[in-house]
Chains A and B, each alone.
Chain A
């Protein structure tokens, strides 16, 4: 058997699954969004669904909210991740505990994180009670609204809580493989701590951190579970809006849901590619 044939044979199962389920799903969704599904008797394609989507202010609201949450949460998570990684680089008593906590966090799914934030951050939640215990507030109403709120703060906090350890461990791995030689050079040439951070460490870790950022951003942008539980019902993020449309009693909503889903997929892909292009130009490493 020719080696080339062997390669494609080994790839066959994976490619089949991806083509049938993933690409197939996208294509079917695309067809359905054009109201074209011979399988259930729809043979008249039209763009009605798309027109409805693009003229619907609700869609843009949802899109904007998804973007806002993804950008804010991932940015905050990145800052926290880099700071943690710099801290974890050094040796200190308790380092193993913190490293373990980071890894532990990775095993906790977002849905549990959402529930945890629900218990923690409501106005009568655990954090509010602790704050009350120390005398900072009198009643639940004194605690800021973080769940089902207008700024999606609880959602953002959850994503930061989950993404920061993930990105932190990746950053730590990058720092460790980088070694501290470059910093030694910079220091011997007169760079103080902050200068070393901005001129040496950050440029060197940016390529790797950007990749992690992109993964985290993509996930947060298309995420359903967390806003579904602790987000406002209206306005909500795009994936949840799509779900509501799809499961609406009125079946005519379905093509609209599909259209929105496909637009979501396209926007997500464009955003990712844009990020990657920007990061490549920004880092200018060979």
Chain B
């Protein structure tokens, strides 16, 4: 169970005007799975490579259990990486792939054989040791890649978008496997991904990264209720962004004056956001607004409806039972419960 601390970590690549990773501070709790979430190019994979030692930072430090590991070369760092592509060595058998790390440490053959068997059982692939990577399916290959990383009992496990190359149904399976293994073994894990669903399902805490900086670091539910910025909110699927000026409990907006719950933001400019599923139909207490139905989309279990309120497009998500209410052009009343409105500083 290793505690990982990134301290003012920065790297600027040659020829680039701005850093790829910009002075980030991050504390990964021991034994927990931390997700590094962000769009392509935000620097998350670079951060992972810095932790692994495949890249050297321009500034800052990386500490494992309080000790700097910057001068430790990658091969000695006791971190293990699982990539997006399984990258199993095609000229080795499954067993040889798994035991690779052990072989590099010159562990004895008997020990290696035993560990191979243990790991294969652990990832639910018993008796596959003799097969070759090409004979396995995509999901099985990824599980072998995971076994290969775990067999060396790393202090830190690094997962670089391990699910994105898999089909949807395999993704769930593999995600569950990762979660169960991680909790069982208690390895401090960093998961890098661009898929917020993946992060929310697998992570204990999520660090959202944009343009080389960490914008918010919290437990998953917080990102839905209290996103720290507009970028973060949009990344997590927040739809309804309304510019507002805060005055204590009230917010002046284009659609009207809305009552909000008292929070940290009491003055100044803000962006209000409310999740589509929180909007209610009909007059329910305060914050009732007149809305015109523009369009609706039936989504199987729910119906997504677009409204126009004083020129602003608002999206709501309702149960399929209420579908008949939403005829195009109809004017309805919607309510925005104050506790569901979140003010983001602008």
Are chains A and B touching directly in their complex (CB below 8 angstroms)? yes
Near B by CB (< 8 A), chain A positions 202-250 give: 203-204
**Contact yes or no, B89 A190, CB < 8 A:** no
Point out the residue from B74, B85, B91, B132 that lies within 8 Å of A187, measured CB to CB: B74
Instruction: Name the segment of A27-35, A102-110, A178-186 touching the other chain.
Output: A178-186
Interface pair A204/B83, CB less than 8 Å apart: no
Q: Give the interface residue-count category, chain B.
A: 20 to 34
Contact B134 A189 (CB under 8 A): no
Interface residue count for A (Cβ, 8 Å)?
20
Residues of B within 8 A of A43 (CB): none
Residues of B within 8 A of A192 (CB): 73, 75, 104
In the complex, residue of chain A having the shortest beta-carbon distance to the beta carbon of B151: A189
Set A181, A189, A285: member contacting B104, Cβ < 8 A: A189
Choice from A182, A191, A284 contacting B75 with Cβ under 8 Å: A191
Q: B185 near A: Cβ within 8 Å?
A: no
Cα distance, A162 to B53, chains bound together (Å): 39
Within the complex, the shortest CB–CB distance from A46 to chain B, in Å, comes to 52
Give the residue name and chain of the A residue nearest to B96 (CB): A199
- Measured between alpha carbons, how far is A182 from B81 in the docked complex, in Å? 11
Kindly state whether residue B270 has any CB partner on chain A within 8 Å.
Answer: no
Q: How far is the CA of A284 from the CA of B132 in the complex (A)?
A: 10
Is B243 among interface residues, defined by CB-CB distance under 8 A? no
Q: Does A176 sit within 8 A of B, measured CB to CB? A: no
Question: Which residue, A181, A188, A190, has most C-beta atoms of chain B within 10 A?
Answer: A188
**Does B158 make an interface contact (CB < 8 A)?**
yes
The residues of A that contact B75 with a CB separation of less than 8 Å are: 187-192
**A16 close to B (CB within 8 Å):** no
Whether the pair B52, A182 counts as a contact (CB closer than 8 A) is no
B100-A286 in contact (CB<8A):
no
Chain A residues with Cβ below 8 Å from B105 are 190
**Is the Cβ of B52 less than 8 Å from the Cβ of A190?**
no
Q: Tell me the minimal C-beta distance from B129 to chain A in angstroms.
A: 16
Q: Is the CB of B91 within 8 A of A190?
A: no
Interface residue from A181, A195, A284, A286 paired with B85 (Cβ < 8 Å): A181
Q: Are A189 and B89 in contact (CB under 8 A)?
A: no
**A127 in contact (CB, < 8 A):** no
A207 CB, nearest partner CB in chain B, Å: 9
Give Cα distance in the complex from A127 to B43, angstroms.
54
Interface flags, A249-286, vs B, CB<8A=1, else 0: 00000000000000000000000000000000001111
Could you say which residues of chain A place their CB within 8 Å of the CB of B53? 187-188
B87 contacts A by Cβ under 8 Å: yes
Closest to B85 in A: A181
Q: Are the C-beta atoms of B134 and A286 separated by less than 8 Å? A: yes
Give B226-249 interface residues, CB cut-off 8 Å to A: none
Q: Give the interface SS of chain A, mostly helix, strand, loop or mixed.
A: helix
Residues of A within 8 A of B78 (CB): 190
- Given the interface pairs A190-B152, A284-B91, A286-B134, the reply to whether A185 lies near B81 with Cβ below 8 Å is yes
B54 at the interface (CB under 8 A from A): yes
With A184-B81, A190-B75, A191-B75 already in contact, the answer to whether A286 and B132 are too (CB < 8 A) is: yes
B90:A286 contact, CB within 8 angstroms: yes
User: CA separation between A186 and B99, bound complex, in Å?
Assistant: 11
Q: Does A200 contact B (CB under 8 A)?
A: yes
Give the Cβ gap from B163 to chain A, nearest Cβ, in Å.
18
B130 contacts A by Cβ under 8 Å: no
CA distance A181 to B145 in the complex (A): 13
Interface hub of A189, A203, A284 (most chain B Cβ within 10 A)? A189
What's the Cα separation between A283 and B91 when bound, in Å?
7
A188 touches B90 (CB 8 A): no
Is B57's CB within 8 Å of the partner chain A?
Answer: no
| Residues of the B chain whose Cβ atoms lie less than 8 Å from the Cβ of A182 | 87, 89
Task: Give complex CA distance A135, B302 in Å.
Answer: 91
Q: Is the CB of B152 within 8 A of A285?
A: no
Chain A minimum-CB-distance residue to B133: A286
Does B34 sit at the interface, judged by CB under 8 A?
A: no
A220 to B76, CA, bound (A): 44
B149 within 8 A of partner (CB)? yes
Q: What sequence of 0s and 1s flags, for each residue 195-219 of chain B, a beta carbon within 8 Å of any chain A beta carbon?
A: 0000000000000000000000000
B residues near A187, Cβ cutoff 8 Å = 53-54, 74-75
User: Within the assembled complex, what's the spacing in Å between the Cα atoms of A237 and B101?
Assistant: 49
A183 nearest CB neighbor, chain B only = B54
| Cβ-defined contact, B80 with A195, below 8 A | no
Whether B148 is near chain A, meaning CB under 8 Å from some CB there, is: yes
CA distance A66 to B312 in the complex (A): 85
Q: Quick check: is B273 within 8 A (CB to CB) of the other chain?
A: no
Closest residue of chain A to B81, judged by CB? A188
Query: Which A residues lie within 8 Å of B83 (CB)?
Result: 181, 184-185
B residues with a Cβ closer than 8 A to A are 49, 52-54, 73-76, 78-81, 83, 85, 87, 89-91, 100-101, 103-105, 132, 134, 148-149, 152, 158
14 A-B residue pairs with Cβ-Cβ distance under 8 Å, sorted by A, are: A184-B54, A185-B81, A185-B87, A187-B75, A188-B158, A190-B152, A191-B75, A192-B75, A199-B103, A203-B91, A204-B91, A283-B91, A286-B90, A286-B132
| Further contacts, 15 of them, CB under 8 A, given A184-B83, A189-B149 | A181-B83, A182-B87, A184-B81, A187-B54, A188-B53, A188-B54, A189-B75, A189-B100, A190-B76, A190-B101, A191-B100, A192-B75, A192-B104, A285-B91, A286-B132
Residues in chain A within 8 A of chain B (CB atoms)? 181-182, 184-192, 195, 199-200, 203-204, 283-286
